[in-house]
Structure 1
Amino acid sequence: MIKKFLAGIVLLFSLAITAQSGTSSPYSFYGIGDVTFKGAAENRFMGGVAVFSDSIHLNLQNPASIAGLRLTTFTVGGTNSRNKLVTNTQEGKASRTSIDYLALALPIGKWAVSASLLPYSSVGYRTQSLAQNVNETSSRFEGSGGLNKASIGTAYRLNNRWNIGANIEYNFGEISTSSYEFLPQIQLGSREKNLSNISGVTFNTGLMFQSRVNNKFDVFGSFTFTPETKLTLQNERTIATVTSVNSSGTDEIKVDVPDTTVNLPTKFSFGGGFGVVRKWLIGTEITFRKSGNLGSRFADINNVGYENSQKYAVGGYFIPNYNAYNGYFKRVTYRGGLRYEKTGLVIAGKSIEDMAVTAGFGLPLGTGTFSNINLGAEFGRKGTKAAGLVRENYANFTLSLSLNDRWFVKRKYD
């Protein structure tokens, strides 16, 4: 029953993932877009902390974690984002609903294998400047698309303390950006459209540690490493005359622009945690990325640079009594965390920073089952109003479903 359900879900959501816009940030114009992936919901609600190997939940940040699974696990998550954009002179609101990930993992003794599909970065913005009189120019800028990752991975449980794992990820996607300009006293306007098709392969490795202290407390450790990868961009540019931003355009001219490569920089993370398994945990994690190697899709994008980035996260969870037979809320998992990130994007000499507070709940789907629904929220701020830039105040509301079952067990009765 659950296998048929999963097959339908996988088909439906895999189509939706590749056809969505997961951001409304004007900063998504730069590079390969706004990196929207922040991990599975269970980790995201803890500020992004993913330092332990869970026996019933997928950890999508460290490939070694799936070696700790005891049941076949399927998970899917989505987010509704509400964004308030503020400058020194204007403000506006935008919202998006998107699918965050789709993943399946299967334990096979000490081994485990996994497959996932997720949108890694998104482009989605629309800004305009309307003429206030006949002597002023009107302009509009918009973009869509992003980078997706299809991943397969494996992990191995070396012993009761150490897990190792690795993923291979195929990156693919399309980014489309358009700019419109309408000059005063001229009947037709102009449109420049840029299209980039992206492809490349990424490797991700991980190591996880867990040990018992004084026969009561558990200590956790996590390390991941992703080497630098080159993405290939096949670029196209067209220029056309238009009567409005909604017209198809006439006299379209194709402009020769070179294909380019963009680096996904070297990234590594490490973290640790302390607590009691299935009771409580407090953890922290640090991620470093050499964003100085990133770069733009086209050589004529000015006023932007890149620097090394860092992300700091702290968070944890608490379960009053995971196997309580009465009192539903005793079995609920309560999560919370904080996150600060220096994104590596530098515009007009200003570093773009992102910070947020997170909280969420894991709700069991009944007694005697390990499946659950996860609900949570993330409230944060990104960017700055300085130098004529945009500050984003955002609220992200996330819902995920985690289903667990035992596969390949020979039945005694049919």
Structure 2
Amino acid sequence: MYKPLRALLLISGLAIGSQQLQAQQLSNSPYSRFGVGDMVNGTSSIRSAAMGGVGVASGSAALINDINPALLFYNNSVTFEAAVASELKRLSDKNTSQVDGTANLGYLALALPISRRWTTSLGLRPYSRVNFTTIASAPVTGAESTVTAYSEYSGSGGLNEVFFAHGFRIANGLTAGVSGSYLFGTIDRQESTILVDREDSTSALQKTLIHTTSRYAGLLFKGGVHYRKKVSDKASLSFGGSYTAKSNLSTDRQVAQERRYLDESLISGIVTDSLEGHTTVPQILQVGLAYDNNKNWTVGADFTQTKGSDFRGFSLEKGAGRQELGDGYRIGIGSEITPDAGSVSSYFKRVTYRFGGYYGNTQINAIASGQTVPSAHDLKDMALTWGFSLPLGRGVRPPDYTQALLNTSFTIGQLKAADTGLKEQYLRVNVGVTFNNRWFIKRKFD
């Protein structure tokens, strides 16, 4: 039998373990060098990940919806969730390839019904991740035949999000929600260059290095609406929408220049820049449609637009930084079915099965050397998804009214840039637990 205390202990253990995994940062993602990294905002829910990212219009009483705060209303029991996200990635171009892996904190969340019309939620999740290493070589102008410059660009870190959300019932079938978040985190970027003179074998090789550390902090706000209409005794149609406003983050940037030997021993170093400024993160619009049979299955479709052209890099004045991103979109479809949630003869009938997929164009627009206008990389992202919710224990029974679920999602897809020849093929696996418990229920029998 599951107790609330056991749920909290297990969630705390998952959180500590996943934070330790997060520090490993094994997976190389070249496109995370742009903006504040690979944005994972609004896609962290295991249920959504298994359904092709769908979730704007499809509510769930058992799992927390982090895409549309208006759907929190449907969480009518106290719900704890924790998850770990992992990824295996293969990067390739026309000549070479490499395989990397990573594991990170997926999210932590708690939903608490305040009244019959109001549910609140709070939690922690990643907003973006940065991890890249790129190496390039080129002859030095004026000494092309003898001197070659080897350059390495690397970055690590990312932003985290602590959120506090509320979902309300406005009228029969109509709900609304708001969410406020605090974004914080540090991103380290490093550029190093080594000059190799093939005619001079006596000098010790050195490298020049520029190290940039940016610390971010700021608030982010989201609003959402949802309307569900029963169209027959066996069917309901739902519409949903959410909007995340663009936000200006306070940014402390420090730039240091160093000279080092190849064994990393320091020759000299100086801090050349230490400034306080601003970074603007983009707005996001999501709309969705869902259809269900009022019982055990749901199918839905979502459209997401990320207004990446709103992004502005570090600057002393708000909104005055360099534009590094363009507008992106994603279309997702997904479904879920639970054959018979109350079955006592077959465990597999109580399992929830999810399937889906998505296709889109990311917001990555790079600025080429010597230019001021960003040019699109035409970076396509497509994937197939599936997953399960596996009941644990005996199910929902008094006196504890506790339900425990083991949740999984799997995503296999690719990120391909037509004009660069670079392709990322990835397998993402999310594993988490959910505990639903009805608190404050007065017992009728002792």
Residue 112 of structure 2 is matched in structure 1 by 106
What code does the residue aligned with 2:337 have? F
Question: For 1:43, what is the secondary structure of its paired residue?
Answer: helix
Say yes or no: does 1:321 pair with 2:340. Answer: yes
The answer to whether the 8 Å contact 1:83/1:392 transfers is yes
Q: Deviations along 1:309-364, whole A, 9 cap, x unmatched?
A: 21111111111111111111111111111112222111353222211111111111
Aligned amino acid, residue 149 of structure 1 = E
CA distance 1:73–1:334, shift in 2 (3 Å): same
CA contact (8 A) 1:17 1:118 kept: no
Q: Tell me, which stretches of 5 or more residues in structure 2 are unaligned?
A: 140-144, 198-202, 369-374, 397-402
* Aligned-partner SS, 2:439: coil
1:210 equivalent in structure 2 = 228
Please name the residue that 2:272 is paired with: 255
The residue aligned with 2:29 is 25
For residue 137 of structure 1, give the secondary structure of its aligned residue in structure 2: strand
Q: Separation in 2 of the partners of 1:137 and 1:171?
A: 38
Q: Distance in 1 between matches of 2:15 and 2:59?
A: 26
Q: 2:189 corresponds to which residue?
A: 177
| Aligned residues of 1:23 and 1:36 also touching (Cα < 8 A) | no
Q: Distance in 2 between matches of 1:12 and 1:400?
A: 9
AA at the equivalent of 2:385 = T
Following the alignment from structure 2 to structure 1, what is the Cα–Cα distance between the partners of residues 76 and 30? 42
Give the match for residue 93 of structure 2.
87
Distance 1:239 1:116, change over 3 A: same
Q: Work out which of the residue numbers 300, 317, 334 in structure 2 matches 1:283.
A: 300
2:380 counterpart of 1:376: no
- 1:59-116 Cα distance to aligned partner (Å, 9 max, x none): 0111111111121001111121011111222211111011111100001222111101
Q: Which amino acid aligns with 2:430?
A: T
Counterpart AA for 1:6: L
Query: Does structure 1 residue 157 correspond to structure 2 residue 169?
Result: yes
Give the equivalent residue in structure 1 for 2:284.
267
Partners of 2:364 and 2:96 in 1: CA distance: 23
Q: Is residue 128 of structure 1 aligned with residue 128 of structure 2? A: no
Q: Which amino acid aligns with 2:334?
A: G
What are structure 1's unaligned runs of at least 5 residues? none
Identity of aligned residues (%): 26
Equivalences for residues 382-397 of structure 1 within 5 A:
382-384=415-417, 386-387=419-420, 390-397=422-429
Map of 1:358 onto structure 2: 385
Deviation at 1:298, TM superposition (A): 7.4
Task: Tell whether 2:233 aligns with 1:228.
Answer: no
The equivalent residue for 1:196 is 214
The aligned amino acid for 1:390 is: L
Q: Helix, strand or coil: the match of 2:32?
A: helix
Aligned residue for 1:67, secondary structure, equals helix
User: SS state of the match for residue 341, structure 2?
Assistant: coil
Residue among 233, 256, 261 paired with 1:238 = 256
Number of residues of Structure 1 aligned to a counterpart in Structure 2? 410
Letter in 1 for 2:54: V
Question: 1: CA distance between counterparts of 2:104 and 2:18?
Answer: 9
Contact 1:278–1:322, Cα closer than 8 Å, also in 2: no
Once the two structures are TM-superposed, the CA of residue 413 in structure 1 deviates from its matched residue by 7.1
> Paired residue for 2:355?
336
Amino acid at match of 1:189: K
SS at match of 1:329: helix
Could you tell me which residue of structure 1 aligns to residue 371 of structure 2? none
Kept in 1, the 8 Å contact 2:378–2:419? The answer is no
1:1-150 matches, cutoff 5 A: 1-3=3-5, 5-6=7-8, 9-10=11-12, 13=15, 17=19, 20=23, 21=25, 24-37=28-41, 38-50=43-55, 51-109=57-115, 110-129=117-136, 135-150=147-162
Counterpart of 2:179, as a letter, is N
For residues 329 and 24 of structure 1, the distance between their equivalents in structure 2, rounded to whole angstroms, comes to 38
- Look up the SS of the partner of 1:44 in the other structure: helix
- Aligned to 2:393, the other structure's residue is in SS state coil
Partners of 1:257 and 1:87 in 2: CA distance = 38
Q: In the aligned structure 1, how far is the partner of 2:266 from the partner of 2:82? A: 40
For the residues of structure 2 that align with 1:237 and 1:257, how far apart are their CA atoms?
Answer: 6
Deviations 1:18-44 (A, max 9, x none): 964485311111100011342300111
Distance (Å, rounded) in 1 between the aligned partners of 2:125 and 2:300 = 25
Structure number with greater Rg is 2
TM-score (norm 1): 0.91
Counterpart-to-counterpart distance in 2, 1:54 and 1:34: 27
Using the size of structure 2 for normalisation, the TM-score is 0.85
> For residues 11 and 250 of structure 1, do their structure 2 counterparts lie closer, same or farther at Cα, with a shift above 3 Å needed?
farther
- Alpha-carbon distance change, 399 to 47 in structure 1, aligned in 2, over 3 angstroms: same
1:235 Cα deviation after fit: 0.5
Q: Give the letter aligned to residue 173 of structure 1.
A: G
Shift of the 14–314 alpha-carbon distance from structure 1 to 2, 3 Å rule, reads: same
Instruction: Give the letter aligned to residue 394 of structure 1.
Output: Y
Distance 1:22 1:183, change over 3 A: closer
Secondary structure of the equivalent of 1:306?
A: coil
CA contact (8 A) 2:395 2:404 kept: no
- From the superposition, tell whether residues 261 and 46 of structure 1 become closer, same or farther in structure 2 (CA, over 3 Å): same
